[in-house]
C-alpha cells in the first residue's frame, strides 16, 4: 500500500530527515520519500501492520502538522 501525507512546517533537510526517520521507525513501513518542495511524505507500508493514524502521530511528534 502507499499513502501520501501532506506535512506542513518542513523547511530544510533536517526537517526531511526527521520526518523520514520517524516514519521508518514504524513497524510495517517499507519505504519513505519526503518531498520538501511539495510538503509531502510518500509512505509505502504493509496494510494491517501500521495505520494512517500511526504515521500521522509519528510525524506530529516531530513537531510538524499533517493535513
Q: How far is CA 7 from the centre of its chain?
A: 8
Question: How far apart (Å, rounded) are the C-alpha atoms in residues 27 and 9?
Answer: 25
What is the reported pLDDT for 29?
Answer: 98
What CA–CA distance (Å, rounded) separates 62 from 46? 22
pLDDT (tens digit, 9 = 90+) per residue, 23-62?
A: 999 999 999 999 999 999 999 999 999 999 999 999 999 9
Q: Which domain holds residue 59?
A: 2-66
Cell of residue 48, nine digits:
494491517
Residue 28, Cβ density class (10 Å: 0-12 exposed, 13-18 middle, ≥19 buried):
middle
pLDDT, position 38: 97
Q: What is the pLDDT of residue 11?
A: 96
- The CA distance from 47 to 35, in Å, is 23
Task: Indicate the pTM of the whole model.
Answer: 0.96
Count: domains in the chain? 1
- Residue 6 belongs to domain with CATH number: 3.30.70.100
Amino acid at each position: 500500500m502507499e499513502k501520501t501525507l501532506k506535512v506542513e512546517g518542513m523547511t530544510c533537510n533536517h526537517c526531511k530527515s526527521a520526518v523520514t526517520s520517524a516514519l521508518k521507525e514504524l513497524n510495517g513501513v517499507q519505504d519513505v520519500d519526503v518531498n520538501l518542495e511539495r510538503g509531502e511524505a510518500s509512505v509505502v507500508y504493509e496494510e494491517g501492520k501500521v495505520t494512517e493514524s500511526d504515521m500521522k502521530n509519528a510525524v506530529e511528534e516531530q513537531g510538524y502538522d499533517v493535513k
